[in-house]
Amino acid sequence: DAGVIQSPRHEVTEMGQEVTLRCKPISGHNSLFWYRQTMMRGLELLIYFNNNVPIDDSGMPEDRFSAKMPNASFSTLKIQPSEPRDSAVYFCASSLDRQTTEAFFGQGTRLTVV
């Protein structure tokens, strides 16, 4: 397996534009997580899914953020409209189940909103 695949690796967009980040988890994994990493706040859990169902989205900062998982092999994180303070590295991770010894992380998407 190629691991968790995120796209794009880098995204630069203008304030107000819609941004969609994509993630393909490892095949067979039941849980998927979206994290945001910034210098100021470190790693923050935004939302996680189990069997394609959102379990906890309490980390989603605002209504501008939304996440979907239409099937077991794909998830999106959308920001609409984007703002400069959304600039961060966004990580997707997947794990075999909720109680697991390892969550596998993607390479991340570095988002810059100008």
What residues pair up with 35 in beta bridges, in sequence order?
A: 45, 91
Closer Cβ to other proteins, 19 or 47, answer by number: 47
Minimum CB distance to other proteins, residue 111 (Å): 14
Residues 63, 51 contacting (CB under 8 angstroms)? no
Closer Cβ to other proteins, 56 or 83, answer by number: 56
Gap between the Cα atoms of 52 and 7, Å rounded: 19
Minimum CB distance to other proteins, residue 16 (Å): 28
Minimum CB distance to other proteins, residue 106 (Å): 5
Task: Return the DSSP state at 85.
Answer: G
Q: b/e for 56-65, b at 16 or more Cβ within 10 A?
A: eeeebeeeeb
Residues lying near other proteins in the complex (CB under 8 A): 4, 31, 33, 35, 42-43, 45, 48, 50, 55-56, 91, 93, 98-108
